[in-house]
A = this chain, B = another copy of it.
């Protein structure tokens, strides 16, 4: 929707890889654990995301291991990946802050009441805080 709009799935994958390299299945488990089970990154989503992030140069294949007869393919963030994740986190924090502020701002005019709108016409139109 914006310039380089990162998908949620991509964000979660990058976050899971931010502290150390992980393999696909590890990313799945880490994401779920990290969010207390709230976020569930799906298998069907994972590999597409991994391919796209690799193509975009945000992650790279770190190494391959064979543990107990099972292949593990480890990915890690590139410098670009770290930067992208950092920027996205910044944007999210800013957006969350803006939303919170505006909810509070609206609470003055809208104290859980119904009816066409606030009683007095809104004071100023757009002065708002801005995301950043």
Q: Which residues of A contact B (CB under 8 A)?
A: 1-3, 5, 8-9, 11-12, 14-15, 18-21, 30, 33-36, 38-42, 45, 62-63, 74, 76-77, 79, 82, 85-86, 88-93, 95-100, 102-103, 105-106, 109-110, 112, 116-118, 122, 126, 128, 130-132
* Distance (whole angstroms) from the CB of A85 to the closest CB of chain B: 6
- Contact call B131/A18, Cβ cutoff below 8 A: no
- Contact call B15/A8, Cβ cutoff below 8 A: no
Residue of B with least CB distance to A16 = B102
> Quick one: given A102-B18, A106-B20, are A131 and B3 in contact (CB under 8 Å)?
no
- Contact call B85/A103, Cβ cutoff below 8 A: yes
A106: which B residues are within 8 A, CB to CB?
A: 18-20, 77, 82
